Amino acid sequence: MRRRDLLRATAVTAGLGLLPVNLRQALAMAAPAGGLDAVEHVVVLMQENRSFDHYYGSLRGVRGFNDPTAITLPTGKSVFYQPNGTSYVLPYPVNDQFMDGTPHDWGSSHDAWASGAMNKWFDAKGVRTMTHMRRDALPFYYALADAFTLCDAYHCSELGPTNPNRYYMFTGKIGYEPGSTTERAIGNKGWDDANHPGYTWPTYAERLQSAGVDWRVYQEWDNYGDNALEYFVPYMNAARKALASTGHVKTRTFYEKLLAASPSTQDKMLAQLAQGVATLSASERSLYDRALRRERPGTLAEVFRRDVLADRLPAVTWLVAAYEECEHPSAGPNSGAQLVSRILDGLAANPDVWNKSVFLLNYDENDGFFDHIPPPAPPVNADQGQSTVAITDEIYQNVPIGLGTRVPMMVVSPWSRGGNVCSEVFDHTSVIRFLERWTGVREPNISPWRRAVCGDLTSTLDFTGAGTYPPLPAPVATTGPRPTRPAPPSSQTFPVQETGTRPSRPLPYVLAASGRVAPDRFWIDFANTGTAGAHFYVYAGTAVRTDGPWRYTVEAGKNVSDYWAVGTPAGAYDLTVLGPNGFVRKFTGNRTIPAGNANPEVTLRYAPTEDRVYFKITNSGGQPVTISVKPNNRSGGPWSYPVAAGASTEDYVSTSGTEGWYDLTASTTGFSRRFAGHMENGKQRASDPRMGAGPSR
């Protein structure tokens, strides 16, 4: 063994030595064969209030701070330079474990999004919106991302607070407030209103129950109100009956009093609760035991582990953390990391269970923390774009409900090892979609638009059994003052992302967007020949026009065309298309073509079996033209292509040295086209090397 390999092996062994024996042994097991049918348990832990950039913007190999396709603001600067009056605020690193939160209601979240302009974060959320954490602040989570699969295009479901986002994960939608046919459940009324009568639309847990699929919610006396099932009538009715002898009608008030009581009073209250539980019917008792039963403080991981060891783990498990472990900004992230470590250790305590389980770690919403990726959202009307799929139930108060801001999602399983990134677009309904694929139990609540735009998480899993584990440090408890209000440094610098790439899961996207010049307008033709729907934004250069952006949803196998009237200045156009996984098309030029002049156009096509992208230059004008083509993501070029009047020419660029990534600009005087993105070939490749090349700004 070479010295370098010996040192690496020693480091891995030392790192694994920090973990409990159970987890070390489980990590060494081979992944079982059988595909999705080999999965027997899905465990979901939804934590609180973190955006993707806030946690992982500096992580190697993800679409973070070194994103070469980040949008440009009307100020002319990158989206990372968030306006603050006449100045700006850049993302700034913090190690503070117990920060004050930021606004994250419906109104401020839509204000920050700004219909996709993404330029109101400071105004809507305040200065702490721009805080972010690095590996030294999140050592366990960064190591977990290096060991398993991290999703960098997973969004919360609503531009809004906790409860509605959890409704999407537990039920697939947000319905209406009780007694109303007009007021949607976009806020936290189920938690805030002590007299709230409860929601009536079905939950996915009820559908699993009807289908005979075993499920359970694990939680403690303190669940921070995060078990969304408690706000639905069937569960509220069971709770009310169980609490009849206690003098309470809701679990929240009962457990708040229980936590504050003396041990003797606690025993009395628990005895009263047991009396009420004994009166429940069989169906009520089933709901109570599965969704409402709570464990003593500090025992969540212990009870979970006990059931794993006894082979009692249900098919579907939802975990709900206590406040101190939920990663809310004022509670801190590393207490949550400790809980995750204990849960994984408990899962690995029974190797047979570990080797048949998928653990999903996601976050309900972003608090008010900044993320630079504009979330997909349907157009409200034809002036805002188009959708080939119905947008039923997706518009409220004349704005889209979601998708919301990017949030972290980690997939931990024998089939997701290797430190991968998955860049398919997901949201909280994707968790239900995964359960649908696995159990066969469908959730009708999920809207057609979300089914088109968001995947089902199966692309995160590699059933070939490939992948290895790097070392995982044991999480360390963090102490410090609380709450803190960290401010940006007096001298700001652009945030740094770690260098290097990571394995990238294959995606279902095969997309195109081509431009056409007409006498009084400019057309963009969107085409989707992949196997999943896709969402696009179109942004206008502010020197040409100040409206937009526009939003387009194109289902798999469909096409959409739209045009932009081109007037001043003198027929100029400047439009940029942004799609999933770094897909960019940029069109600049002028529709005014004096008689006899050249009229170039450039299109792109994929040749995945050749590992090439072909670009075709067509000149439909009356004069010759020379187009310069420059690669933006590799050395070489620019290359010149003279094209006679009425002629065309085609050439290619190899993507074998860039893992399928391409970024080209074709231009001549007064005309340019940019093509950037990733060509899929059905195989796992690597993340965009440009994101891992170090600072580019």
- Residue 51: CATH number of its domain: 3.40.720.10
Residue 604 lies in a domain: yes
Residues 217 and 354 grouped into a single domain: yes
Amino acid present at 193: D
pLDDT along the chain (697 residues), means of 10: 30 41 73 92 99 98 98 96 97 92 97 98 97 95 94 99 99 98 96 94 98 99 98 98 96 97 98 98 97 98 98 98 96 94 94 96 98 99 98 98 99 94 99 99 99 99 75 73 88 97 98 93 97 98 92 99 82 96 97 83 98 97 96 90 98 96 97 98 96 74
Beta bridge partners, 455, equal: none
Last-in-domain residue among 493, 512, 543: 493
How much is the pLDDT for 21? 64
Residues 202 and 248 grouped into a single domain: no
* Exposure string for 199-211, b = 16+ CB within 10 A, e = fewer: beebbbbbbbbee
Number of domains, the chain:
3
In angstroms, the CA 57 to CA 64 distance is: 4
Residues 253 and 308 grouped into a single domain: no
Contact predicate 66/691, CB 8 Å: yes
Last-in-domain residue among 493, 517, 535: 493
How much is the pLDDT for 292? 98
Q: Which domain holds residue 544?
A: 503-692
How much is the pLDDT for 9? 33
How much is the pLDDT for 7? 27
How much is the pLDDT for 96? 83
Residues 218 and 235 grouped into a single domain: no
Give how far Cα 401 sits from Cα of 160, 375, 395, 668, Å.
Answer: 8, 11, 6, 42
Residue 129 lies in a domain: no
Start-to-end CA span in the chain (Å): 41
Residues 544 and 686 grouped into a single domain: yes
Residue 615 lies in a domain: yes
Residues 242 and 258 grouped into a single domain: yes
Residue 110 lies in a domain: no
Last-in-domain residue among 473, 493, 513: 493
**Phi, psi of 391, deg, nearest 5:** -105, 25
How much is the pLDDT for 694? 73
Residue 105 lies in a domain: no
Residues 624 and 644 grouped into a single domain: yes
For the chain, helix (H) and strand (E) counts, in that order, are 18, 30
How much is the pLDDT for 697? 57
Residues 316 and 361 grouped into a single domain: yes
Contact predicate 657/685, CB 8 Å: no
Q: C-alpha 527: how far from its chain's center?
A: 24
Structure tokens at 173: 């939608």
SS3 439: helix
How much is the pLDDT for 470? 63
Sequence-separated (6 or more) residues with CB below 8 Å from residue 525: 512, 513, 514, 515, 516, 559, 560, 561
Residue 301 lies in a domain: yes
Residue 380 lies in a domain: yes
Sequence-separated (6 or more) residues with CB below 8 Å from residue 205: 170, 215, 217, 229, 290, 291, 316
Contact predicate 148/417, CB 8 Å: yes
Residues 172 and 248 grouped into a single domain: no
Residues 216 and 254 grouped into a single domain: no
Residues 607 and 656 grouped into a single domain: yes
Residues 325 and 370 grouped into a single domain: yes
Residue 20 lies in a domain: no
